[in-house]
């Protein structure tokens, strides 16, 4: 994945646990990279190794690490120059949930080799949505839970997000998104 993602992981860890912990994590992960460039494309294994080492060193499950990272992502990207794209994505939660693919399409101008996930959103009621998530990558569903929680936070709404099904073979994960 693009360095932007790995850099965000680094920023999150340094902010919450300090640079010494980050150095320990990098050493443990054996990724052989010291510092990421946002616009460089890195092997996905680097991201997965970082998540595994963070989990080991901080005593969190990999799912917790991914969910926490997902929740951080919207505020992180907003602070790194993408607030205008986030604004274009939606003035309210409903609009935003229907436009995530469009958001990534806009990003591909900057990151041409990215392989973004695909989302299909269904409106169940005014406060209840279901989202299908498709990705070429595996194991990132917990990150999606955090991302959706982060969208709730962006719009100052209490939301409950849960995964309602996994069909591993089709690469489709389904989520329920409720605005409380």
Give least dist CB 74 to ligand HEM, A.
Answer: 6
Residue whose CB is less far from ligand HEM, 20 or 113:
113
Identify which of 133, 62, 16, 140 has the alpha carbon closest to the alpha carbon of residue 8. Answer: 16
Residue whose CB is less far from ligand HEM, 59 or 112:
112
CB of 128 closer than 8 Å to CB of 180: no
Residue whose CB is less far from ligand HEM, 51 or 103:
103
What does the binding site for ligand HEM look like in residue numbers (CB under 6 A)?
1-2, 4-5, 74, 77, 82, 85-86, 100, 103-104, 107, 111, 114-117, 135-137, 140, 143-144, 147
Give least dist CB 116 to ligand HEM, A.
Answer: 6
Buried b (16+ CB within 10 A) or exposed e, 62-101: ebebbbbbbbbbbebbbeeebeebbeebbeebbebbbbbe
């Amino acid at each position: 994945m693009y360095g932007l993602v790995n850099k965000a992981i680094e920023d999150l860890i340094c902010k919450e646990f300090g640079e010494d912990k980050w150095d320990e994590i990098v050493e443990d992960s054996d990724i052989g990279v010291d510092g990421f460039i946002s616009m460089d494309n890195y092997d996905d294994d680097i991201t997965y190794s970082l998540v595994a080492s963070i989990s080991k060193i901080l005593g969190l499950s990999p799912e917790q690490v991914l969910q926490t990272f997902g929740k951080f992502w919207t505020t992180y990207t907003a602070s790194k120059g993408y607030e205008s794209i986030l604004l274009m994505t939606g003035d309210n939660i409903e609009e935003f949930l229907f436009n995530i693919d469009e958001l990534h399409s806009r990003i591909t101008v900057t990151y041409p080799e990215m392989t973004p996930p695909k989302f299909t959103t269904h409106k169940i009621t005014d406060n209840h949505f279901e989202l299908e998530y498709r990705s070429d990558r595996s194991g990132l569903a917990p990150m999606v839970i955090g991302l959706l929680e982060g969208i709730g936070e962006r719009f100052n709404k209490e939301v409950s997000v849960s995964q309602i099904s996994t069909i591993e073979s089709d690469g489709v994960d389904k989520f329920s998104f409720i605005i409380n």
